Structure 1
Amino acid sequence: MSFSCQWSERVSSFSREDWERCFDPGNVLTSYSLQQALERSQLVEGFHYLSLRQEGKLLAIISCFSLSYSLTDLSAPGAQRLMAGLRKLFPGLLKPRLFMVGSPLATCTHMLGIVLPPEDPGYPDLIRSMEREINRKASELGIRLLCLKEFDHRLSQSLALAWQGRFLVCRSPDTTYVYTRAVAGLDYVENMRSRYRDVLKKRKKAFAAAGLRWELVRDFAPHVDVLHRLYLNVWQRSRFRFERLTPAFFHAVNEALGDQASVLLCLDGERIVAFELLLNGQRLHPLYLGVDYDYQGGGALYFNCLYRAIEEAQSQRQALVELGQSSYEAKFSVGAVSARRYFHIKHAHPLGHFLLSRFKRWLFPTPRLPAPRRVFKCEEAYLQALKSEGVL
């Protein structure tokens, strides 16, 4: 099966209709509008879009980008500290340019906009055509390292069969979900075991006693400088440092996404002490968090950010809120359940690929997660509700 392939450098090369033929229009994380915002955010070297057609019919849009990336960002803390020391002498050590297929944001969502389902007989041929094209494009850009992210278990297996061993399959940090609707006739708080419900009430009481309040803001342009500073506070403390956002990102998202983007401000008087950037489609995504760690007023800020995101999903009648990667202990304690994510990576040179394979466990160790919590009285019904939403 043959396909005609074409590369473009801007999402505007496609109509919104064509984009939404390949990507779920209900998923804000893969939306045309978010991609427009990303192009204006100054996060990467450049974007590259591959379209594949058969007899003139559009079958796929593959969203890619290039950037320099630290290969040790997912390593164990000890390895990261060692590398930080070595980079004082060798600043570019293990920071190659990568050709990435996916989003530059930590969305836990892939960017393979393929019309054909994995079980279609033509799917393996399309994947191989895509692989040949991204190999060629990366070579044209002088890049030897290729990576595709973020896949759930089922799609990762389908791709691995098509690759036939040409890519290494690695675990990304898991994403996390909370189901926000009633289970077995009990709402989210009612379903909690008394231990967790009492802790929730105590933290919310501390929040109120500190005089803190929440405000949902649709136009957050006036607050971008503060939001960016608070975001960097969290980013600098994070074990997994993914993309580093720019002020331009916040401005672009505010302008491009309209009602699909908003910010929850946590205020002490008029001072912003924390925030959550919310993207809203078929699911609610509290995509980024910022905290003022100099704030001494108490109020259990981080946990109340989690509770408030869940409440916002409930107010919007969303069944799910995706809490993303990292801080698993805290997220598990509010009822979040993890779902695996994978990325596929290879080096264009055989020796480079051999070394990548040899040091895979050191560079990309399997994530170590804390034990899941039994937060809810109707735990099995809660897990079944998540499965019914297709996330487990």
Structure 2
Amino acid sequence: MDTIYSFKIYNSTSSLPLEWNSLAIDNIFLTREYLEILEKSSPTNMICHFIGLFHKEDLVGIALSQFLNLNQLESFGNRDKCIKTAVRNTVFKNFISHILIIGNNMLTGQNAFAFAETIDPIQGLKTLKKASEKLKIIFKNKGLKVHITTFKDFATEETTAFHQAGFQKHFQYCTQPNMLFDIPNQWKSEQDYIEALSKKYRDQYKRARKKAEGIEKRKMHLDDIIKHEVTIYDLYYHVAKNAHFNTFFLAKNHFRIFKELLKDKFLFYGYFLDERLIGFNTLIKNGNVMDTYFLGYDESIQREKMLYLNMLYDMVAYSINKGFKEIIFARTALEIKSSIGAKPQEMYGFAKHSNPVADMVFEKAFNYLEPKVDWKERNPFK
């Protein structure tokens, strides 16, 4: 007989069960503290809910949902201005502008849920599916019809449980891979990384470092982030709006709130030229894994100084020096991340359109609308 689980949906972190964090030990992105960041500074077109799964009175699962209203976006992304983009944007606005995500659209990887060891994972997924149906009703009562429900970012080995939990009629899709950088145990410093590179990529490293002469990298604290908040947002927004496609833009206070709530687990590095902030990157410590987060830069200086590549090298160096096991470089800029040693991991999602007719053509529409990125995988090591 199936174990029966119940669920509760919360719209505030203040009402979460006291034992919530005991299930988020392995993932900072499901902790009360991180969810409070979303509560206080999520994108303006995003509404978050938190889901608790229960066996009788015991909390046995936690999950995050995000509702995105794409109609509230002023721009989907400016890079590829063409007929296809215009068509894509029109279709998104009218047919798939209201998206309910079980997971986190601001990150790459399985940040959707965490189950206790005692839970039956198949029954847990079935219960989450029921919770997603309940959320659709909640939004319908607010006058917002959910077009698409999606469970996102699962590795190949994680997809089997979904098939067993009744997701066969969902469209299983695969988007751009997650770029992962594994750090060998024997590497103790940046020098170990440099020595592992082949001559071609060691030369690339030296050239990038030489180009960046004159730029000062500074670890920025909360008061620094507040002081430079306007410039930080401008640098971020420049990079974000030139992406192929966007489903959100960060709130202006996002990095300040992040630093206030996650403190030393959130790292913010500014890059200065003649005392002017010209770029920044951010890192999040997640156990023995380092997650890269958003960055920004002045495009004119970026090109001349190879700033983005230098940021990637800095992230690798810091993570090795501090004993991390892996760096999650996420999506975008796949080839340049590959050139420093990151490897692609395919990620899958499960999606269903609430309109049965639209659902029949959803797969074709998705394949047409999802930007395909041609890139060549590199291997920089000897």
Classify the TM-score, shorter chain: 0.7 to 0.9
Q: Which residue of 2 aligns with 1:160?
A: 163
| Cα distance in 1 between the residues matched to 2:108 and 2:90 | 33
| Cα distance in 2 between the residues matched to 1:296 and 1:353 | 43
Q: Which runs of 5+ in 2 are unaligned?
A: 141-145
Q: Which residue of 2 aligns with 1:237?
A: 242
Letter in 2 for 1:135: E
Is residue 2:139 matched to residue 1:141?
A: yes
The SS at the match of 2:200 is: helix
* 1:82-161 correspondence to structure 2 within 5 Å: 82=83, 84-86=85-87, 92-116=93-117, 122-142=120-140, 143-161=146-164
Q: Which residue of 2 aligns with 1:277?
A: 282
Letter in 1 for 2:267: S
With over 3 angstroms needed to count, the CA separation of the structure-2 counterparts of 1:161 and 1:363, relative to structure 1, is: farther
* Post-superposition offset of 1:166: 2.5
| Cα distance in 1 between the residues matched to 2:301 and 2:255 | 23
| Cα distance in 2 between the residues matched to 1:184 and 1:223 | 35
C-alpha contact (below 8 Å) 2:239/2:297 kept by paired residues:
yes
* Post-superposition offset of 1:32: 2.3
Is residue 2:379 matched to residue 1:374?
A: yes
* 1:227-306 correspondence to structure 2 within 5 Å: 227-282=232-287, 283-295=289-301, 298-306=304-312
* Post-superposition offset of 1:355: 2.4
The SS at the match of 1:323 is: strand
Deviates more, 1:356-365 or 1:258-267: 356-365
Q: Which residue of 1 aligns with 2:315?
A: 309
* Post-superposition offset of 1:307: 0.6
C-alpha contact (below 8 Å) 1:109/1:151 kept by paired residues:
yes
* Post-superposition offset of 1:158: 1.7
* Post-superposition offset of 1:259: 0.7
C-alpha contact (below 8 Å) 1:101/1:111 kept by paired residues:
yes
Q: Which residue of 2 aligns with 1:385?
A: none
Per-residue CA deviation, residues 138-180 of structure 1 (Å, 9 max, x unaligned), is: 1331224211112111112321331241211111211112234
Q: Which residue of 1 aligns with 2:345?
A: 339
C-alpha contact (below 8 Å) 1:138/1:144 kept by paired residues:
no
With over 3 angstroms needed to count, the CA separation of the structure-2 counterparts of 1:154 and 1:100, relative to structure 1, is: same
| Cα distance in 1 between the residues matched to 2:194 and 2:31 | 32
C-alpha contact (below 8 Å) 1:333/1:373 kept by paired residues:
yes
Letter in 2 for 1:207: A
* Post-superposition offset of 1:309: 0.9
C-alpha contact (below 8 Å) 1:310/1:321 kept by paired residues:
yes
| Cα distance in 1 between the residues matched to 2:273 and 2:362 | 49
* Post-superposition offset of 1:358: 3.9
Letter in 1 for 2:181: V
Number of aligned residue pairs: 365
Identity level (%): 18
Q: Which runs of 5+ in 1 are unaligned?
A: 378-392
| Cα distance in 2 between the residues matched to 1:54 and 1:182 | 40
The SS at the match of 1:136 is: helix
Q: Which residue of 2 aligns with 1:9?
A: 11
C-alpha contact (below 8 Å) 2:301/2:307 kept by paired residues:
no
Per-residue CA deviation, residues 312-332 of structure 1 (Å, 9 max, x unaligned), is: 112322122221111111111
Q: Which residue of 2 aligns with 1:27?
A: 27
Q: Which residue of 1 aligns with 2:333?
A: 327
With over 3 angstroms needed to count, the CA separation of the structure-2 counterparts of 1:62 and 1:297, relative to structure 1, is: closer
| Cα distance in 2 between the residues matched to 1:51 and 1:198 | 51
* Post-superposition offset of 1:193: 0.5
* Post-superposition offset of 1:85: 3.1
Letter in 1 for 2:322: Q
* Post-superposition offset of 1:28: 2.8
C-alpha contact (below 8 Å) 1:278/1:285 kept by paired residues:
yes
With over 3 angstroms needed to count, the CA separation of the structure-2 counterparts of 1:224 and 1:181, relative to structure 1, is: farther
Deviates more, 1:237-246 or 1:248-257: 237-246
| Cα distance in 2 between the residues matched to 1:184 and 1:216 | 24
C-alpha contact (below 8 Å) 2:167/2:350 kept by paired residues:
no
Letter in 1 for 2:61: A
Q: Which residue of 2 aligns with 1:353?
A: 359
Q: Which residue of 2 aligns with 1:46?
A: 47
With over 3 angstroms needed to count, the CA separation of the structure-2 counterparts of 1:26 and 1:62, relative to structure 1, is: closer
RMSD: 2.8
* Post-superposition offset of 1:297: 8.5
C-alpha contact (below 8 Å) 1:178/1:320 kept by paired residues:
yes
C-alpha contact (below 8 Å) 2:6/2:127 kept by paired residues:
no
Q: Which residue of 1 aligns with 2:143?
A: none
